[in-house]
Amino acid sequence: TETTQTVQHVDALVVGAGFGGIYQLYALRQLGLSVKVIDVAADVGGTWFWNTYPGAMSDTESFVYRYTWDKEDLQNYPWSHHYTRQPDVLAYLNHVVKRHDLRKHMDFNTELLAAEWSPDEKVWNVDVSRGIRYKARYLITALGLLSAKNYPDIAGLDSFQGLMCHTAAWDPSIDLNNKRVGVIGCGSTGVQVITEVAKIVKQLVCFQRHPQYSVPSGDRPVSPEYRKMVNETYDEIIAGVRDSAFGFGFKESNRSYDSFSPEEREEIFEQLWAKGNGFRFMGGGFNDVTTNRTANEAACEFIRKKIRQIVKDPEKARKLQPHDYYARRPLCDGGYYEQFNRDHVSIVDLKETPIKCITPNGIVTSDGLEHQLDVIIFATGFDAIDGNYTRVKIRGANGESLKDHWKAGPTSYMGTHIPHFPNLFMITGPQGPFCNIPAAVEAHVEFVTETIKKAEEVSTNDSPAIVEATEQAEADWGKTCEKAVEGSLFKETASWIFGSNIPGKPVALRFYFGGLGSFRQEVRKVAEGGYAGFKPFVAGEQARL
């Protein structure tokens, strides 16, 4: 029970058994440390454990949506399509865990409740559910970017007599066949779920607040020739990913929109549309779609034109066309707009007719209409990034909680470290790179592992190494992040990236927008430059690093 507490000692406690936690566990075991991974979920997978909603798929192409550190596995593990669907990502992560015999270091159904740094003992005291207190020299949080769910606060929500489900807590027993289904939200998730379920439901009502720009994913089966080509060039592919901004495995453009003729521009957009992938559409044709207003509007108008061409009903097409900047996380789909040509699929523009309340029978909009529903799907997103952290009590060396430290918005040094939180390492923490997540995870895990290795080398029994970023380094990294996003239209567009999707959440820059390649260079500079921005790992020992 929760009242009897057993104490367990480990060198490192890793929280989260998704992409980040699995690799971090592997890497720390390679150093010979004792490691425990805990996860509140019943099994491995992180994001891919929870997000089992119909249509869930990674929209990074399969060949780069995986680890690069196991070269043999990279050559041999099969993938059938250019994109990997949720069950296959989950199967892949399970495979990696099995292949490297990692499961024995993992505890599931185990929730992080509170973590407090003890300056006297120089350990993190970490209380988890199931009545265990871990004493760990290193605490590594691999909580993911998107795990704390956002449920909108709608009057009458609890009165609904049908089924309700958030996409990130999907109940696989829900049968949507022939049902009247409402979907609230049309971000990445909403677009995927709508595209998938439109085919099987009796009626689908999509409640849309901000329409988004989505392009085709270009998914198709992988041919043996393609796989052979990828296998033969994997080293270059990986080098290219690590050196790129987005890490999506396509060649990013280094030419501006203005450097092409109008005909060329149209042709480029057509090619991008035909090839597919949201990030490629954003960064594969021109290098200034998110900074040059003219280029941005051209991309917007191109997609709007496609929507008008695809969607036959002009009223639905009108509602589906966005008019703000193309500067949210870019989306792609497997035929999203096409679904609205089905008579049973409708769209409610919540800016025209906001949701008034939920009743036992469905959703009532401000025009008095009651949309009668059997199931309501919340594709309403997440309290992203810091939301994963501030819901648990994490207390640093000066007694300050992380929540307090981040009152004005989350900050860090390199996305991994926070001053006054010694020996705490975040994987994809705030102000880490905005890019393909496994690639960001690898950059962070490698940095964390290298740092811990150095710390172990200078540790002695009398004075274990303490890795702690300085306040100055945190402030400087904040400025670096601000500079990297200067002139970007992302800054002018409301989304979870800045925290503006959650009422009351501080609006702040939550990513480093300088690109993965530059981020990796920054990391190298720190690691090879004697850990500038950190206090000496052991008093007076900085020179030895």
> Can you give the binding site for ligand NA7, defined by CB under 6 A?
146, 152, 184-190, 207, 209-210, 329, 350, 379-382, 496, 501
- Least distance to ligand NA7, CB of residue 132, Å: 31
Nearer to ligand NA7, 68 or 380 (CB): 380
CB 52 within 8 A of CB 169: no
- Least distance to ligand NA7, CB of residue 431, Å: 17
Return the structure tokens found at 271. Answer: 């090619």
Nearer to ligand NA7, 382 or 490 (CB): 382
Residue that is written with structure tokens 């149209």 in the block: 266
- Least distance to ligand NA7, CB of residue 351, Å: 8
Alpha-carbon gap, residue 55 to 194, rounded angstroms: 8
Nearer to ligand NA7, 132 or 168 (CB): 168
CB 146 within 8 A of CB 47: yes
Other CB atoms closer than 10 Å to residue 62's CB: what's the count? 25
Nearer to ligand NA7, 317 or 348 (CB): 348
- Least distance to ligand NA7, CB of residue 289, Å: 18
Nearer to ligand NA7, 246 or 537 (CB): 246
- Least distance to ligand NA7, CB of residue 144, Å: 10
- Least distance to ligand NA7, CB of residue 496, Å: 4
What letter represents residue 52's amino acid?
T
- In the bound state, the residue with its beta carbon closest to ligand NA7 is 187
Other CB atoms closer than 10 Å to residue 221's CB: what's the count? 9
Nearer to ligand NA7, 277 or 451 (CB): 277
- Least distance to ligand NA7, CB of residue 241, Å: 17
Give 270's contacts (C-beta < 8 A, 6+ positions apart): none
Alpha-carbon gap, residue 209 to 185, rounded angstroms: 7
Alpha-carbon gap, residue 511 to 246, rounded angstroms: 12
- DSSP assignment, residue 107? E
Nearer to ligand NA7, 385 or 402 (CB): 385
Return the structure tokens found at 105. Answer: 């270091």
CB 121 within 8 A of CB 466: no
Alpha-carbon gap, residue 466 to 457, rounded angstroms: 12
How do 180-184 and 375-378 pair as beta strands? Answer: parallel
